Amino acid sequence: MVLYNKNERYIKYLCHFHFDRDFFECHEILEEQWKLEQNQQYKKVWLGLIRLSVVLYHYRRSNFIGAKKLMRHVVTFSNDKHLLNMAGIDQDRFKQIIVDLQSNIENQIDFQYFDLPLQDSELLKHYQNQKENYSSFTEDLIHKHSTRDRTDVITERLKQLELRRK
């Protein structure tokens, strides 16, 4: 069961992850896929990758508390060979990256980039062929969440709060 052969959102995730390092966009892309996904195994893969991008987003902003909160889920994801195989990720190399990442976060070491250790040559070729469509990392990506329109989120929260009060 290989999920990435048919999923353009995953390819976009990989492009943002590796080319412009826009971890916020990585989250947004796969969150949409996760919400739409019917296959429970695929949902687990998307959720693992979403959580990884959120950890990296917090970590790069030196929000070590936020990064630590989700890190345990990323560790669990790194231990699931089946899910990583579905995503075309080399488990042994990924596990070591995650061990190092967790240590760096715990010790509040400055953020360091890494590439996902993809083991599938077709997947590598597919996303690398799109490199020219992505720009390089820019500093404004570090606090990208603060620039988005959150009107719909705030409206929904107020609506839910009002329903709970009733």
Query: Would residue 153 count as lying in a domain?
Result: no
pLDDT(126) > 50: yes
> Residue 138: how many CB atoms within 10 A of its CB?
11
Query: Would residue 156 count as lying in a domain?
Result: no
* 111/57 Cα distance (integer angstroms): 10
Residues 52, 74 contacting (CB under 8 angstroms):
yes
Quote the pLDDT of residue 148.
53
**107 closest CA partner among 56, 66, 68:** 68
Q: List the domain range (segments joined by +) for residue 39.
A: 4-138
Query: Would residue 146 count as lying in a domain?
Result: no
Query: Would residue 165 count as lying in a domain?
Result: no
Mean pLDDT, rounded, for 120-142: 72
Query: Would residue 150 count as lying in a domain?
Result: no
**pLDDT tens, position by position, 78-121:** 999 999 999 999 999 999 999 999 999 999 999 999 999 999 88
Mean pLDDT, rounded, for 150-164: 70
Query: In sequence order, which residues have a C-beta less than 8 Å from that of residue 8 and are 6 or more positions away?
Result: none
Quote the pLDDT of residue 100.
98
Cα 25 to Cα 102, 126, 140, 157, distances in angstroms = 22, 19, 13, 22
Q: What is the DSSP string of 15-83?
A: HIIIII--HHHHHHHHHHHHHH---HHHHHHHHHHHHHHHHHHHHHTT-HHHHHHHHHHHHHHHT-HHH
**pLDDT tens, position by position, 3-22:** 555 588 999 999 999 998 99
Query: Would residue 20 count as lying in a domain?
Result: yes
How many distinct structural domains can be found in the chain? Answer: 1
**pLDDT tens, position by position, 22-71:** 999 999 999 999 999 999 999 999 999 999 999 999 999 999 999 999 99
Quote the pLDDT of residue 85.
94
Mean pLDDT, rounded, for 115-141: 77
> Rounded to a whole number, what is the distance in angstroms from the first to the last CA of the chain?
46
Burial class (CB in 10 A: 0-12, 13-18, 19+), 149: exposed
Strands of 59-153 (E only): list them. none
Looking at residue 13, its amino acid is: Y
pLDDT(161) > 90: no
Quote the pLDDT of residue 86.
93
Query: Would residue 148 count as lying in a domain?
Result: no
Quote the pLDDT of residue 144.
45
Beta-bridged to residue 89, according to DSSP, are 118
- CATH of residue 91's domain is 1.10.3450.10
pLDDT(143) > 80: no
Query: Would residue 45 count as lying in a domain?
Result: yes
pTM: 0.79
